[in-house]
Structure 1
Amino acid sequence: MQARAALAAVLAVVLALSGCAEPNRTIHATDGSQPTESTTPTPTPSPRPTRTKPPKPPLRPLPTTLPAGLRRSTGVRPVALTFDDGPSPAWTPKVLDQLRAAKVTATFCVVGHEAQRHPELIRRIVREGHQLCNHSWRHDLDLARRPAAEIRADLTRTNKAIQAAAPGTPVAFYRQPGGRWTAEVLAVAKELGMRPLHWTVDPQDWNKPTAATITKRVHSAARPGAIVLLHDGGGDRAATLGACPHLIADLKRRFGITRLR
């Protein structure tokens, strides 16, 4: 037995010197005459538990036609001007300057996130006699397709940002981004005391046509009681700003411009 143990020790030294030995391997002799090797398994770490987020509920489909109950007319002969996606420090003050010069008022459909960032513009809008309209927190085009609780949280958050900027200011209207209305968003807006505000004239100034094209489109589509959709935020509004003096003068001459009631 002593001879066998000595032989195993010699073999282990030889293998280590020749680079054949591996970590966690030991060589020992069995009851036979030849030594054998065994491997001690390396413990593997336990896998970390993975956290899976619960699946979001699917978005409900949009109706194929606009639902009933949308505000789409002033109800009188004069038309109304509305400006969406602001307030923007680059464009809203210039739009306000033009409205003041023309001695007309408008409705500003403001995005809550922008209202929170630029409360001084919300205060100026109110101070100069214009109306405020809730236009969602971040202009989520699919907001109306989400669960009612998400819609309510979004609209409530936006109203709070408006009230923080201009305490006590009424927010009488809600406008769904993209005009993508559902019965659910209508119900939530009504629950929060807001009327759903749509439009009848859309010159698609968000697509950046020229000022002349915007003016022409508004002129062609406007009718008594029309609600005109324009933008003072959400991108470069130089063309809208360039069109405003001409289209405002045209609408004042043909119909008059009124504040929404």
Structure 2
Amino acid sequence: MKKDQLLTRRRALIAGVGVLGGAGAAGLLTRGTGGEAGPSAAPAPGPPARRPLKPSAYRLQPLAGYGPPVDSAGTPVRREPLLRMTGIGRTMVLTFDDGPDPRYTPDILSTLRQYDVRAMFFVCGEMAAEHPDLLAEMADDGHVVGNHTWSHPLLTGLTRGRIRAEMERTSEIVEKAYGERPLWFRAPYGAWNRAAFQLGAELGMEPLAWTVDTLDWTEPGTRTIVDRVEGGAGPGVVVLAHDAGGDRSQSVWALRDYLPHLLDAGYHITVPRRYQV
């Protein structure tokens, strides 16, 4: 599939996006923390009965289309990552890290497609290089793909040159497989430093962390993951989950449970977009 074809069909399919506009994208700026994949365990059985979320009488209508490409020279250098979206009503963002993984990512994409929902995937370059078809599928469905470095290292222990190489190499493989370079990045383990913010901005990317951490990498059980998402649901919330890095069966089952419940409660699940500044 040629790059221009991927771009054409992505833009034709993408809709229902929220707004995080360029230099005005900042929400609550506090640092988040991430985790490292723990040992594999058997997934929990199907989700049990759940408590109701606070109902809502409406759902937000989608905002159509993307703005023009962002000029990297206009990308601000943050001191802290963005944690949430602001000023856009009852809207949430679902994000998935560390993939794509052919064992779990297709199931997550299938569930999102079933409910016509867009999400963000922060991919590792080495995984994307092995599974470019999954990035093409993300493009087809209108999801946003972000940069999660090449090999998922702890950036605070790397030289500036190594950080750039991790980011730049991943952006290149994303552009090749997805159709355009990523406009968002996320530091592995939630460990940010000045060099990461500066280099990310130089590459035209905004740093996005999260509001709600499911801690699904600890494999706490499907029910626990669902409770964390539903308990943390709120306007502008960004949810962190994983589609790779270990046994993610619980993450797959949890998404099937909490996604329709969030929609029924009146939340609009969307992805951010950026405007040229």
TM-score greater than 0.5 by the shorter chain: yes
Q: 1:244: Cα distance to partner?
A: 0.6
Structure 1 segment 180-219 matched on structure 2, within 5 A: 180-219=191-230
Does the 8 Å contact 1:108/1:133 carry over to 2? yes
- Residues of 2 paired with 1:143 and 1:170: CA distance? 21
Partner of 1:20: none
Structure 1 segment 214-253 matched on structure 2, within 5 A: 214-252=225-263, 253=265
The 3-state SS of whatever aligns with 1:150 is helix
Does the 8 Å contact 1:139/1:177 carry over to 2? yes
Q: How big is each residue's C-alpha offset from its partner over 1:180-219, in whole Å with a ceiling of 9 and x where there is no partner?
A: 1111101110011000010000010011111111000111
The answer to whether the aligner puts 1:86 opposite 2:99 as a matched pair is yes
CA RMSD in angstroms comes to: 1.4
Q: How big is each residue's C-alpha offset from its partner over 1:60-86, in whole Å with a ceiling of 9 and x where there is no partner?
A: xxxxx7374412112223000001110
Partner of 2:117: 104
The 3-state SS of whatever aligns with 2:170 is helix
Q: 1:164: Cα distance to partner?
A: 2.2
Total equivalences in the alignment: 195
- Residues of 2 paired with 1:202 and 1:258: CA distance? 18
- Residues of 2 paired with 1:212 and 1:94: CA distance? 18
Does the 8 Å contact 2:96/2:240 carry over to 1? yes
Among the aligned pairs, what percent are the same residue?
Answer: 37
Partner of 2:139: 126
Partner of 2:174: 162
- Residues of 2 paired with 1:259 and 1:99: CA distance? 12
- Residues of 2 paired with 1:139 and 1:205: CA distance? 17
Partner of 2:156: 144
Does the 8 Å contact 2:174/2:181 carry over to 1? no
TM-score normalized with structure 1 length: 0.72
Larger radius of gyration: 1
TM-score normalized with structure 2 length: 0.68
Bigger mean CA offset, 183-192 vs 142-151: 142-151
Give the 4+ runs in structure 1 shifted more than 6 A.
none
